[in-house]
Amino acid sequence: MAIVPVILSGGGGTRLWPLSTPEKPKQFLALTDDRTMFQLTLDRVSNAEQYAAPIIVANSAHAGLIENQCADENAIILLEPCARNTAPAIALAALSASDPKAILLVMPSDHVINNVAAFHAATQAALPLVEAGWLVTYGITPTGPETGYGYIQMGDALSGGLQSVARFVEKPDLARATAMLAEGNHSWNGGIFLFRADVYLGALSVHAPDMLAAAHKAMAAATHSGNRITPDAQAFAECPSDSIDYAIMEKAERVAVVPVAMGWSDVGSWDALYELNAKDDTGNAITGAARIEGASGNLIHTDGIRVSIQGVDDLIVVANGKEVLIIPRGQSQDVKKFSS
């Protein structure tokens, strides 16, 4: 049975400000490739032998962007009238699956995966447990003591190389992250999931019945226009807002992690993008019109205005529209404050 990709496009667009904005968040930008993050996500699951047409869950304000960037006429586009975090978004998708037992591959639309073969191999490894009713999360093998990610402590070995989840760990401080790396058996929580639609809905009925009821009601009163589905606004507004991790994964019984090393990043900051980008001989990563004299280690990303720098090192310079941001590399977690 073909896997149904569920692509979550709810990102708000604050962490890569001023390039990403609420009107055009990160997933709709071409940051690491000619294709946008959203297009790269679609392309990863475009093989018709393995994957059915995707279900895309997006902010209704981005309907035009979605349609411009998705060529698949069979894609189902679920337009959320308001944001209610990931658990309800995935509930809408699970309720839209034509087969109740459809296997859903739930993915954020704005992550980088450099080793797509490893991603597919992990999915294949997880399928037997998923078919047997487990909820599987992808555990990214850590490459450093990142403090910007949640972690998963892995427990007993299961079949296919999967492991049970001992516990989920919130974003740690550096000491805690370093300790987990030294300890081993921890992975990053990548926000990617594989499970049967009916298993997820069953878990919701146990752990978040109000959420399931609201999602049902919103879908029952949804408006349809071609392949666009807009859940009823009032019903969906009454849905509790929660993440799949909090609402389901931390509470459900048969939860497994599939460990995978796949060159993954959530591109959650300009610093993360600097790490991903190609650099010149002196470590400058340049996108757009720029002139560099005696300057090293800078990230320049400009959409129009030309940036001329001399004698400055390790800066992040981002120009977009009527805004230009200048901060040192290593401090890009603080960009949010400028975005509002």
* Binding residues for a copy of itself (CB under 8 A): 18, 291, 293, 304-312, 315, 317, 319, 322-328, 331, 334, 337-338
Amino acid at the residue 284: N
Strand pairing category for 112-113 and 264-265: antiparallel
Q: What are phi and psi of 113, to 5 degrees?
A: -130, 105
Residue 296 and residue 281 in contact, taking contact as beta carbons nearer than 8 Å: no
Cα 285 to Cα 277: distance, rounded to the nearest angstrom: 6
Q: Which is nearer to a copy of itself, 224 or 322 (CB)?
A: 322
**Shortest distance, CB of residue 269 to a copy of itself, whole angstroms?**
13
Residue 16 and residue 272 in contact, taking contact as beta carbons nearer than 8 Å: no
Q: Which is nearer to a copy of itself, 226 or 311 (CB)?
A: 311
How many other C-beta atoms lie within 10 A of the C-beta of residue 74?
Answer: 9
Q: What are phi and psi of 319, to 5 degrees?
A: -120, 130
Q: Which is nearer to a copy of itself, 74 or 310 (CB)?
A: 310
Q: Which is nearer to a copy of itself, 65 or 307 (CB)?
A: 307
Q: Which is nearer to a copy of itself, 156 or 280 (CB)?
A: 280
Q: Which residue has the tokens 């981005």?
A: 62
**Shortest distance, CB of residue 303 to a copy of itself, whole angstroms?**
11
Q: Which is nearer to a copy of itself, 250 or 323 (CB)?
A: 323
**Shortest distance, CB of residue 15 to a copy of itself, whole angstroms?**
14
**Cα angle value 255/155/111 (rounded, 5°):** 60
Residue 40 and residue 30 in contact, taking contact as beta carbons nearer than 8 Å: no
How many other C-beta atoms lie within 10 A of the C-beta of residue 213?
Answer: 15
**Shortest distance, CB of residue 13 to a copy of itself, whole angstroms?**
16
Q: Which two tokens stand for residue 326?
A: 């200048």
Q: Which is nearer to a copy of itself, 206 or 326 (CB)?
A: 326
**Shortest distance, CB of residue 280 to a copy of itself, whole angstroms?**
17
Residue 323 and residue 330 in contact, taking contact as beta carbons nearer than 8 Å: no
**Shortest distance, CB of residue 145 to a copy of itself, whole angstroms?**
22
Strand, helix or coil at 187?
Answer: strand
**Shortest distance, CB of residue 11 to a copy of itself, whole angstroms?**
21
Cα 20 to Cα 268: distance, rounded to the nearest angstrom: 11
**Shortest distance, CB of residue 266 to a copy of itself, whole angstroms?**
22
Q: Which is nearer to a copy of itself, 116 or 315 (CB)?
A: 315
Q: Which residue has the tokens 């049970």?
A: 164
Residue 260 and residue 161 in contact, taking contact as beta carbons nearer than 8 Å: no
